[in-house]
Amino acid sequence: MADSDLKGDISADQWAAATAERDVAAQSGSASAHPKVFQELSGEATAAGTPGRIDMILDIPVQLTVELGRTRIPIRNLLQLAQGSVIELDRLAGEPMDVLVNGCLIAQGEVVVVNDKFGIRLTDVIAPDERLRRVNR
């Protein structure tokens, strides 16, 4: 896109101010002209004894979901559902369930009952590099 195409959307004074700001930043070698280099997060303590930067994210809550199965049904059938209705899912009985964190598959497992509450025993955890590859798709 040419500079003349952009000028029609903003006033001449705004254009001049933005151009001058860009020129000053380029001449002074400001931070916007040079990309930032980020350090890797680590769980290790720093030399000063302060906790590592990874500790900052450890208390962030995430949504953990255990998915029994899925199905697609027309709204007509959805409106006919009543107590006792059976919905067929895309999984077979005994198949492992998916464990998702914020919608991303991280593991599979089986249902267990502990003290009258349902839980899930993880049977297969997705490797971290595989999880990252799936997120980047």
* pLDDT, tens digit (0-9, with 9 covering 90-100), for 114-125: 999 999 999 999
Q: Which residue in 27, 14, 60, 13 sits closest to 41, CA to CA?
A: 60
Same domain, yes or no, for 62 and 19?
no
**Considering the entire predicted model, what is its pTM?**
0.53
Interacting residues of 12 by C-beta distance below 8 A, sequence separation 6+: none
Same domain, yes or no, for 80 and 23?
no
Same domain, yes or no, for 85 and 25?
no
- How many angstroms separate the CA atoms of 137 and 134, rounded? 5
Output the domain CATH number for residue 95.
2.30.330.10
* Residues 45, 49, 57, 126, Cα dihedral to 10°: 20
Q: Does 75 or 134 have the greater pLDDT score?
A: 75
Q: What is the DSSP letter of 51?
A: P
Residue 42 lies in a domain: no
- How many angstroms separate the CA atoms of 85 and 15, rounded? 65
Residue 37 lies in a domain: no
Tokens 């000028």, residue located: 7
Same domain, yes or no, for 125 and 72?
yes
Q: Does 95 score more than 80 pLDDT?
A: yes
Q: Given pLDDT bands bounded at 50, 70 and 90, which one contains residue 56?
A: confident
Q: Which residue in 120, 80, 76 sits closest to 100, CA to CA?
A: 120
Per-residue pLDDT, 6: 47
- Which domain, by its residues, includes 24? 3-30
Q: Does 55 or 95 have the greater pLDDT score?
A: 95
Per-residue pLDDT, 133: 81
- Residue 34 in tokens: 């040079």
Same domain, yes or no, for 26 and 64?
no
Same domain, yes or no, for 70 and 104?
yes
* Total number of domains in the chain: 2
